[in-house]
Amino acid sequence: MRNLGLLGGLIVWMAYTRFFWPLHSVHATLPTCPFLLITGHPCPLCGGTRSFAYTWDGDLRNAVALYPLGPLLFAGTIAAIAALCVALVANRDLVLRVPRRWERPLWIAGGGVLAVSWGLKLTVLPN
């Protein structure tokens, strides 16, 4: 059931980002980021939706400019959808196992990458 829920959520997200520009033109998209509205500064994830939309269009320059991690996360989402489909067909539970000694370094590395991306958003990249 968990795999099916994850797969459904990822498919809905990808469909939303695929049709983001037509939805945006008729004001039928999700509201602006609350962090951005309150502080006037982008959050660490601001630009992600538009980055995915640009990636769908093949415009990697704008995708990276809006959210540097966007195209990488887009590819990861496609891979996750494929892995979840295989797990569902094989009637297996998809579980990501990381050796305990790697957990902390991976969290630190992920946080560092997110911090650099956010720093770029706050300083040199458009919102």
Question: Domain span at residue 104?
Answer: 2-123
| Residue 88: both structure tokens together | 């569902």
Hey, is 60 helix, strand or coil? helix
Number of domains in the chain: 1
Q: Secondary structure of the chain: what % helix, strand, coil (to 5)? A: 70, 0, 30
102's torsion region: left (phi>0), alpha (psi -120 to 50) or beta? alpha
pLDDT by residue for the chain (127 residues), tens only, comes to: 888 999 999 999 999 999 999 999 999 998 888 999 999 889 998 899 999 999 999 999 999 999 999 999 999 999 999 999 999 999 988 888 899 999 999 999 999 999 999 999 899 887 7
